[in-house]
Structure 1
Amino acid sequence: MMVTELEKLEEITFHEDDNSELPPSDIVAYNELRSCADLFRMYNQGILIIQPEFQREIVWKAPAQTRFIDSLIKQLPIPSMCFSLDYKTQRWQVIDGLQRMASIVRFLSGESWTLSKLEDIDPRISGQPTSKFVDWNSELHQFYTRVENLTLPITVLRCDYSKKSHTNYLFTIFHRLNAGGMRLNNQEIRNCIYSGPFNDLLNNLNENSTWMRLNRMTKTMGYRFTKQELILRFFAFHDRYQKYNGRLAKFLNEYMAENMYPDDEFIDEKRALFERTIDIVFLKIFGGRTPPKISTTVFEAVLVGVSFNLAYLEAQPDARVRTFFERLLEQEEFSEQRLSEGLAGKPRVIERMSIAKTIFSGR
């Protein structure tokens, strides 16, 4: 399928870090050594967070995990991992080294996992189930003990997650440290940094069947959190599009930071807003059918425009609501050329949201 220039530009917005600020002077970085057993203990006690939702989206295949365990057993040099430490909550977060930590946890937990049969690893461990390594009476237990006792280099960033400047800096660190072959996009990073009830809500709403049909999704996985970012954009633009500053990543980061631990009333309000909005879009604009492919930028404007006029639109005939959508598409601001000229620029975004809000009001 041919990818348009607009689609390429829209894809960039899911990856771009627009934070250009200097590192906060009160973040302290230091190096330390920790044994694999200690890291495993921290994980089991809930002190070290490695985001299971994130792991399901990007994860090493079994051969890569097996080779890493083989490297630990052979005590080969392992690159330093990077963790953040929120000194107020004593919460540790993996910034760089997620797959290494996941492999350590998987091996030491003795879960149902059989190491891959590979020619370039120690033949004694090739194809062996991890349950044998955990067994004290097994000859393989020596390798389990060796991994437990092995110390790994850790770079620790001591910070305060309640400070926007700190979480913005961590966001940039995630970008810089994960710029290799498995580069993280913005929402994957937010899923780590801003984990909490609001992030859980985004992940939960992404499983809504109407939302999935609107996005032509057959399953929730495989989109690398880009659909959760669309939901985040919807909430952020609905609440404060007029305060948008032209820096999309930072705008969304700050919205998540401010709403990381909301009360139940906030969660219920956002859920209701989202569900009423997508019901109108799905049923009244697209007639309860999977919609044709439309640009992300147009889609988010439609969602925001509809959300400001829920009661009015719910009372309108489907055909009338559909004409509002058609009017929106006819606007110069929503032409592909116009969108390509300034996708995330401040005046363009504010103008698009204002137009959508007005059109769906029936005026």
Structure 2
Amino acid sequence: MKENLDFFELEDEDDSIAPPCDLSLYSQAVLHSSDWTVGTIIDQLERKNIEMNPRFQRRDAWSRTRKSLFIESLILNLPVPQIVLAEKKDQRGRYIVLDGKQRLLSLLQFTGKSETPNNNFGLSGLEIKKDLSRKKYKSLDENPELIDDLNSFLNYTIRTVVIKNWPNYDFLHTVFLRLNTGSVKLSPQELRQALFPGEYSNYIDDYAAKSSSLKALLGNKEPDARMRDVEIISRFLSFQLYLDSYHGRMKSFLDECCEKLNKNWPEIKDEIDKQISNFEDGISLLVDIFGSPSIARKSDSRSFNRAIFDALIYYTAKFQIREAMRKNPVKLKKAYEEIISDDQFLNSVESDTAGIPNTFKRLQLWGNKIQDALEIEVLIPTLVDNRIATR
């Protein structure tokens, strides 16, 4: 799947460093390493002991060629990276995937046990075992001449690390970050969806997957492979509902909001529906006025900046402000050109963006700019005792 969008990653500063944690807690975790055969892993996946539900499977980041080369490596007994799992709390023998999701998904798809468009794919782009080109798993399973390849595949052992008795979510987040320090940094939203399952988590995942406006904003044709689309809606809802309780650490804030909304889903669902409708209308208007390639970008960059978007959608999701924007698109575009050149605003979206001072500053500056440009009254958050107040 082609990645159509660059993300400005520096703004997630509290997601790029290990969260504070009592060092004594680290000794509680138990790490167990073993070599699981591919056959064993597939069996665990089939029995749903390894969390790879349909929503996770929908976030498919690898091309068929990359999947095929992984399968080829297993058949040839070439080294592949380890898989890291965390045993679920109070669910012995059931696991969350911390590292190896795409490899596990490739195994499911190749053996025809997935629920995705790539299910039961034929091998392609092979570099060594070219005799297996276009072959599917069924061919290996049914053709006696390919029995050696089938056995090599199923009997291949993959080092599997299982973390048990982990002390808290910050510990798993630290492990997650350390595992993803390479060139492709995964979104913490993937871990959040696994750690906090529930109706709310399912709701925002389903919404992100079907929203044409959100896809247009991000330049995607499919759900974002790293769940950055889900993170965007999660940030929006958390700010709309709980900005008064924001404490300056984005990762923890989103975790807390997700857990709270899952727990209180029956009571909060109607409000979430209302906010999602405002979010959808807000994105559609921004796309109409600015064009999706220009939204939440600085003038000299094509990278999507979530801190800028947080400020834009915070106000655009409010009906009266949205209607004023719709009637005055030229004034709004001019206001945006001015704010994106403002040194204070730029500083608030480039470093320490999760901190309370800069979170407040960008909301304040953009709110004032809208108010002056559109000549309407805007309810702008205030800073009280180093907390952002909305009332």
Flag whether TM exceeds 0.5 (same fold): yes
Give the Cα–Cα distance (whole angstroms) in 1 for the partners of residues 322 and 134 of structure 2: 60
**Out of 250, 253, 257, which is 1:251 matched to?**
253
Measured on the aligned residues, the alpha-carbon RMSD in Å equals 3.9
Which structure 2 residues correspond to residues 1-363 of structure 1 after superposition, within 5 A? 8=8, 16-21=16-21, 22=23, 23-50=25-52, 53-54=55-56, 57=59, 59-90=61-92, 91-109=94-112, 112-116=120-124, 118-121=126-129, 125-135=132-142, 138-159=144-165, 166-206=168-208, 207-213=210-216, 215=217, 217=219, 219-221=221-223, 224-260=226-262, 262-279=264-281, 282-283=284-285, 290=291, 292-295=294-297, 296-305=306-315, 310=319, 319=327, 335-337=345-347, 339-340=349-350, 342-353=352-363, 362=378
Distance 1:356 1:197 in 2: 33
Unaligned runs of 5+ in 2: 1-6, 114-118, 298-305, 380-391
SS in 2 for 1:140: helix
Provide the rounded CA distance (Å) in 2 between the counterparts of 1:326 and 1:119. Answer: 54
TM-score, normalized by length of structure 2?
A: 0.71
Residues 83 and 93 in structure 1, CA contact (< 8 A), matched pair in contact too: yes
Kindly report structure 1 stretches of 4+ aligned residues shifted beyond 6 Å: 285-289, 314-317, 320-334, 355-358
Is the contact made by 2:295 and 2:309 (CA closer than 8 Å) also made in structure 1?
no
Task: Tell me the equivalent position of 1:3.
Answer: none
Task: Give the total of aligned pairs.
Answer: 347
1:31–1:113 distance in 2 versus 1, CA, 3 Å? same
Judge conservation of contact 1:132–1:138 (CA < 8 Å) in 2.
Answer: no
Moved more, 38-47 or 262-271: 262-271
246-255 or 322-331, larger mean C-alpha shift: 322-331
Question: How far apart are the structure 1 equivalents of 2:336 and 2:75?
Answer: 61
Identity %: 21
Q: Distance in 1 between matches of 2:109 and 2:9?
A: 38
Gap change, CA 1:223 and 1:319, over 3 Å in 2 = farther
- Gaps (5+ residues) in structure 1? 1-6
**1:157-180 deviation per Cα after TM superposition (whole angstroms, max 9, x unaligned):** 1247xxxx6222212212211222
SS at match of 1:48: coil
Distance 1:297 1:322, change over 3 A: farther
Letter in 2 for 1:97: G
Shift of 1:154: 1.5
- TM-score, normalised to structure 1's length? 0.75
Give distance in 1, aligned partners of 2:57 and 2:12: 23
